[in-house]
Amino acid sequence: MPTASPFRRALCAVALLLVPAAPLAAQSLAAGTRVRVKSPQVVAPITGSLQAMRRDTLVVIEDDVSARIWSFATPNVERLEVSAGMKGGNRAPMTRWGLTGAAAGAALGWAIAVLLEGATGDDYNDVLSGALGAAVGAGVGTAYGYRKLEEHWTPVAVPRRVGLLPTRGGVRLSYSASF
């Protein structure tokens, strides 16, 4: 019974560790799944529903008024992502609404201080009133931004035509390319 050299066994172990199991998951994507595709063929990522994933082609119908059908060769796909749904608590809307609330709160705090000084004759600190309004406005704006939903994406490996094939004498590494 022939045995493999230690070098071949180490090479086989490294090959098994480097071959991802993710292409199996990518091949099991169902038609109609919401995906986002980044490719050098397009300027912006294409968001749409997956129509088919053939051996070397990915077909997507764009979610737009035109509903254009896009075909991508799998070597040209830089990134394939699947929608994980809409989720709240995102940093961008929290920051945007927090800053908007801070600006509005500062203006409102300063305006209230000016109006109260004129009506009551008391002396208010305009800077402190504006800062207090900004703090309250930022809190309210951040809480509002926390509730804003954004779509989250999960990357999926694009299946390449590389694989391990079991043979009677062991395992064979195969690579297929077409031009």
pLDDT in the model for residue 178: 43
Return the CATH number at 171. Answer: 2.30.30.520
Q: What are the distances in angstroms from CA 146 to CA 21, 70, 105, 154?
A: 36, 35, 18, 21
Q: Which residues of the chain have pLDDT under 70?
A: 1-2, 4, 12, 15-28, 159-166, 173-179
Residue 48 included in any domain: yes
Residues 69 and 99 in one domain: no
pLDDT in the model for residue 176: 54
Rounded CA-CA distance 173/15 in Å is 8
**Residue range(s) defining the domain that contains residue 106:** 91-146
Residues 116 and 161 in one domain: no
Q: How far apart are the first and last CA of the chain?
A: 41
Residues 57 and 132 in one domain: no
Residue 8 included in any domain: no
Residue 123 included in any domain: yes
Instruction: Show the tokens assigned to 113.
Output: 């201080």
Residue 12 included in any domain: no
Q: Cα-atom radius of gyration of the chain, to the nearest Å?
A: 28
pLDDT in the model for residue 73: 86
Query: How many structural domains are present in the chain?
Result: 2
Convert the pLDDT of each residue in 71-116 to its tens digit: 988 888 889 999 998 998 899 999 999 999 999 999 999 999 999 9
Check: CB of residue 35 under 8 Å from CB of residue 153. Answer: no
